[in-house]
Amino acid sequence: MIKAEFDISSYEVPRFSKNKIKAAGERLVEGSSDHETLDILNNWRSAHALPLQLISEELNKIASAVDENALLAKRLKRSPSIINKLKIQQTMSLARMQDIGGCRTIVDSIDSVYHVNECFQEALDVNRHKLLRMTDYIKEPKSSGYRGIHLVIQFDGSEISEKHNGMKIEAQIRTRYQHYWATAVETMGAYLKQSLKSSQGDKRFLQLFAELGDLFAFYEGQPRFNNDIHIRKQASKVVGDSKLLQLHEKLSAFSHATNLIENGLDADATNADFYLVITDIKRDVVRVQPVTKDELKAANEQYTRLEQRFRNDPCRDIALVSAKTLADLRDTYPNYFSDTKNFLEHYHKVLFYILKQLNPTEESDIPTTQKEIQLFMLKFKRLITKRRSKNRAFVRKQRSLIRNSRKITNPKVKAEMEKKIRSVRVHTNQFCKKTSEIKHFYKNTVVKFNT
């Protein structure tokens, strides 16, 4: 049971009636951004933080017990996502939206997904929360390729805060394969400036990701949505379509582009409960501002202000999310960091697994498929060679700057030189680390699964 002594002073309380919240949602769809409307939106969204905290804690505890490698996170839905959902689902009301507060756990296997789901539902019953709906998108996958288990929970605040009673929270349980597929869709959608996540945008990419979702499901031993096409032909089709749309090149570029700024903090050691993440696609920069429980109210207000400030800027994205560490944050929300490395690794692992089983006498397009794989391997080897050369160039530049700085006697010039050396050192370390990751991926995924 929830302890009555839980400190709720750091959390926002709903201040407006359901009718006012509904009306504010209608004004947001019409494009209104007046002070009252934004105040209602900010309060209603912020108020979900308390039920989200308590429900996510329960999910986190269960997932960690089932899978010690589980990734755990929670987030308050972004304003553009809220407004877009209200526009798409015209019968939806802001007051009834079920995923303004959302938590997620990512585990290593399908068995773990179902084990967590079973234990979590039992815990909800013990804590008197009401499970409004459980949707299994694994056994009954969406046509888009999305998979996972979704639970919509009605919060029981009778023992802690009557004003939060009845608020709704969404929980998601996924495997890593399902998760990296979903975040790759979001990342590609962000750069195409299309809502691929909502099945809107370029039909070629939507179809490709739908086919990829089926391949990922087959790899994990789960049902495919499209059973009319043989899995081998489906894999061959994905290879061809990926080449045509330059999927690998686009996602690789995104994965290598974004630099992370941690505001000078050791994010793994901070006591942050949330992170305010500001992504600037144009400048290839992500700024991360840690937020503690005591700062949550102010952070929510800043969150709303920044969303309004950049609402017409397609290159800026704002999010208020939570994870145990910044490393977990990158793994759980890689779309905010334009980090598609994990998706690409899983993508090739799945393709190589399926194509290795191809029977040349059974499929007429196998020689073409194998040729494409060989060309991909050759391209990867060239990329590694090129990056090694750049690594050496960066190191030489750094050493040259250090030698020159020793000859400088002017304190002001010396300080500027030292600043430049620090900048080069950071860039060199990042580049070398990324090269090491690419080499590791090639050795342990590309080569391993093609032999």
Position 442 confidence tier, pLDDT thresholds 50, 70, 90: low
**One-letter amino acid for residue 40 of the chain:** I
For residue 152, pLDDT over 90 is answered with yes
pLDDT per residue as tens digits for the range 200-228: 889 999 999 999 999 999 999 999 999 88
What are the structural domain ranges in the chain?
18-227+259-337, 371-450
Arithmetic mean of pLDDT, 54-79: 92
Which tops the pLDDT comparison, 77 or 351? 77
* Closest listed residue to residue 325, CA positions, set 352, 349, 290, 358: 290
For residue 336, pLDDT over 70 is answered with no
Q: Is the pTM of this model over 0.85?
A: no
Q: For the purposes of burial, counting CB atoms within 10 Å of the CB of 84, is it exposed (0-12), middle (13-18) or buried (19 or more)?
A: middle
Q: What is the pLDDT of residue 155?
A: 96
pLDDT per residue as tens digits for the range 43-53: 999 999 999 99
For residue 2, pLDDT over 50 is answered with no
Which tops the pLDDT comparison, 244 or 129? 129
Q: Which CATH superfamily is domain 18-227+259-337 in?
A: Beta Polymerase, domain 2 (3.30.460.10)
Q: Residue-wise over 322-358: b if at least 16 C-beta within 10 A, else e?
A: bbbebebbbbbbbbbbbbbbbbbbbbbbbbbebbeeb
Which tops the pLDDT comparison, 233 or 331? 233
Q: What is the pLDDT of residue 269?
A: 42
Q: What is the pLDDT of residue 173?
A: 97
Strands 101-107 and 168-175: parallel
Arithmetic mean of pLDDT, 280-304: 81
Which tops the pLDDT comparison, 81 or 132? 132
Arithmetic mean of pLDDT, 142-154: 96
Percent of all residues in the chain with a pLDDT value above 90, rounded to a whole number? 35
Arithmetic mean of pLDDT, 160-183: 94
Q: What is the pLDDT of residue 268?
A: 45
Q: Concatenated DSSP letters for 98-158?
A: S-SEEEEEEES-HHHHHHHHHHHHHHHHHTT-EEEEEEETTTS--TTS---EEEEEE---T
In whole numbers, what is the pLDDT of the chain averaged over residues? 83
pLDDT per residue as tens digits for the range 386-402: 878 888 888 888 888 88
Arithmetic mean of pLDDT, 82-96: 90
pLDDT per residue as tens digits for the range 349-392: 888 788 776 554 444 444 555 566 666 667 767 777 887 888 88
Position 41 confidence tier, pLDDT thresholds 50, 70, 90: very high
